[in-house]
Amino acid sequence: MRGRRLFIATFLVPPLLLYGVFVVSPYAQAFQISATNWRGLSPDFEFVGLANFRRLAVDDVFWNALGHNAILLVLLPVATILLGLFLASMISVGGRADRAGVHGVRGAGFYRVVYFFPQVLSVAIVGVLWKEMFAPNSGLINGLLRAARLGGLAQPWLGDPRFSFWSLAVVLLWSNVGFYVVLFSAAMQSIPRDIYEAALLDGAGRAATLFRVTVPLVWDSIQVAWVYLAILAIDAFAVAQIVTNGGPGYSSDVVGLRLYKTAFNESQFGYASAMGVAMFFLTLSVAAVFLRVTRRERVEL
């Protein structure tokens, strides 16, 4: 008993104290600040109660940013998981079946490295890279269109409100799909090849095999991916700030970026903290709903 108490005091209490000071404490302070009109630098502030939250309810700029996050919440997890499953399936079991059984395409290891490569890059490098690719005159995308004699399709992608948000969505998809390709591919490696061979003998095509065999057997990995991508869609701050900075105007604004600008550009830390509290509860709610829905879906399968 004494050794157990010593272990708890030595190895568990200090990490919990550090977590409480550096993680839990800032969250608690954000709740406190959200009920004030603190400007960020002044030691003086007034308690305003729920005024900041009432202001959020009628703030068109905030709801515009939240609408963009809602679109990402639907688009990003679905597109990333479907594309990740397809590419992982091709890598793991997409090759032709022969006497050696079902196997992946030739050079599967190389493809895994290529798909995972964006994860090696920092978010800043990814943002700057794509910002240069979207440049209207010197960018790679418009350059390829002009080289293919499709110059009429060239656009100022980040400077046009019609395309800036969708350009941001493309960057988010590109920068995340590789990780889930590797994740799903690793999960598929644990599936016995006999199952795929039996499905092949029964006449199942690739699509049927993917959705009726692979998806149910890697559902735990899909569930984790769904929750993480949902949280990323609610945030999307770093990429949005670097690639579009919310513009032109508010055409590609997201809640995380709106919070940052409200706090550091407009010095309204109390109101920005109210946005953070709203995001906190929204993230918890979305994660709980996604876990519930995917768990229910798993039972049905």
Q: Please determine, for residue 153, whether its predicted confidence score (pLDDT) is greater than 70.
A: yes
A 10 A CB-CB count for 105 gives 14
Q: Please determine, for residue 50, whether its predicted confidence score (pLDDT) is greater than 80.
A: yes
User: How much is the pLDDT for 300?
Assistant: 43
Is there a domain that residue 36 lies in?
Answer: no
Query: Higher-confidence residue: 172 or 92?
Result: 172
Q: Please determine, for residue 98, whether its predicted confidence score (pLDDT) is greater than 70.
A: no
Nearest to residue 222, comparing CAs of 185, 259, 255?
185
Supply the mean pLDDT for the chain: 86
What average pLDDT does this structure show over 256-274? 93
User: How much is the pLDDT for 137?
Assistant: 87
User: How much is the pLDDT for 1?
Assistant: 62
Facing residues of 47 across strands?
36
In this structure, of 9-13, 23-27, 165-169, the range with the lowest mean pLDDT score is: 9-13
CA distance 261 to 259: 6
Structure tokens at 90: 């091709």
Is there a domain that residue 54 lies in?
Answer: no
Indicate the number of domains in the chain: 1
Is there a domain that residue 239 lies in?
Answer: yes
User: How much is the pLDDT for 242?
Assistant: 93
Query: Higher-confidence residue: 118 or 109?
Result: 118
Structure tokens at 32: 């406190």
Q: How far is CA 274 from CA 30, 35, 44, 186, in A?
A: 8, 7, 18, 41
What is the residue whose two structure tokens read 């692979």?
Answer: 214
User: How much is the pLDDT for 5?
Assistant: 75
Is there a domain that residue 226 lies in?
Answer: yes
User: How much is the pLDDT for 72?
Assistant: 94
Q: Which CATH number does the domain housing residue 144 bear?
A: 1.10.3720.10
Query: Higher-confidence residue: 196 or 37?
Result: 37
Is there a domain that residue 89 lies in?
Answer: yes
Q: Is 27 exposed, middle or buried (0-12, 13-18, 19+ CB in 10 A)?
A: exposed
Name the DSSP class of 96. P
Peptide bond into 15 cis (omega under 30): no
Confidence label for 297 from pLDDT (cuts 50, 70 and 90): very low
Q: Please determine, for residue 301, whether its predicted confidence score (pLDDT) is greater than 50.
A: no
CA distance 30 to 269: 9
User: How much is the pLDDT for 102?
Assistant: 59
3-state SS assignment for residue 99: coil
What range does the domain containing 156 cover? 61-300
3-state SS assignment for residue 93: helix
User: How much is the pLDDT for 100?
Assistant: 47
Asked if 100 contacts 196 with a C-beta cutoff of 8 angstroms, the reply is no
CA distance 219 to 94: 19
Is there a domain that residue 21 lies in?
Answer: no
What Rg do the C-alpha atoms of the chain give, in angstroms?
24
User: How much is the pLDDT for 139?
Assistant: 87
What average pLDDT does this structure show over 32-61? 90
Nearest to residue 61, comparing CAs of 227, 223, 258, 230?
258
What average pLDDT does this structure show over 230-238? 89
User: How much is the pLDDT for 241?
Assistant: 93
pLDDT over 90, % of the chain: 42
Is there a domain that residue 242 lies in?
Answer: yes
Q: Please determine, for residue 287, whether its predicted confidence score (pLDDT) is greater than 90.
A: no
Q: Please determine, for residue 190, whether its predicted confidence score (pLDDT) is greater than 60.
A: yes
Name the DSSP class of 150. -
Is there a domain that residue 25 lies in?
Answer: no
What average pLDDT does this structure show over 154-176? 93
Structure tokens at 100: 């050696």
H or E segment and range at residue 128: helix 123-133
Nearest to residue 157, comparing CAs of 178, 148, 144?
144
Structure tokens at 190: 């644990």
